[in-house]
Amino acid sequence: MIATAPTTEISVPRPVYARWGYDYWQQTPDLRLVLGGFRDLAIDEEWTAQEEMTAAIQARLGAYAQELAGEPVEISRRWCGIFGMTEDLLPVVGRVRDGVWAACGYSGHGNVLGLACGALVGQAIAGDPAPELSLFDGVRAL
């Protein structure tokens, strides 16, 4: 993942997915671009339990940020994380025990599903669980 310094030329009002979800970006209210993806370009390096940045992916993210902005951009932050995956590619979300909830295994789609699942968990904690929460029950993964 990367974040740029504020840009001047573009306006992206909502998160965007490209190449079937392999690449994704959004623009923050202060006009920074936040981009992730391109993991499929270095799959052998990415298939690991080590939380380390991949040089080829970081280079591609920087080039793509510049493409999107249409001008040189300053990269203000870089980070990476472990790609958690379930067998059916859906996250596992639910109550573990009183006061403890889990939401994990987003299979690289945490930007959108994380927000939706967070809302579902919040609604359930508030005492009004939505039926959609059962779609992510961890029992299905056993």
pLDDT tens for 19-73 read 887 899 999 999 999 999 888 888 787 777 778 888 899 999 999 999 999 889 9
Q: Write down the pLDDT at residue 99.
A: 92
d(C-alpha 89, C-alpha 108), whole Å: 9
pLDDT at 123 over 80: yes
Q: In this predicted structure, which of 13-22, 25-34, 95-104, 115-124 has the lowest mean pLDDT?
A: 13-22
Nearest to 42 by CA among 80, 73, 85: 80
Q: For residues 80-108, give the mean pLDDT.
A: 87
Q: Which residue has the higher pLDDT, 127 or 52?
A: 127
How many residues are present in the chain? 142
Q: Band of the pLDDT at 141, cuts 50, 70, 90?
A: low
Q: Spell out where the chain has E strands.
A: 2-4, 16-18, 23-27, 33-37, 75-78, 92-97, 100-104
Q: In this predicted structure, which of 14-23, 50-59, 90-99, 106-115 has the lowest mean pLDDT?
A: 106-115
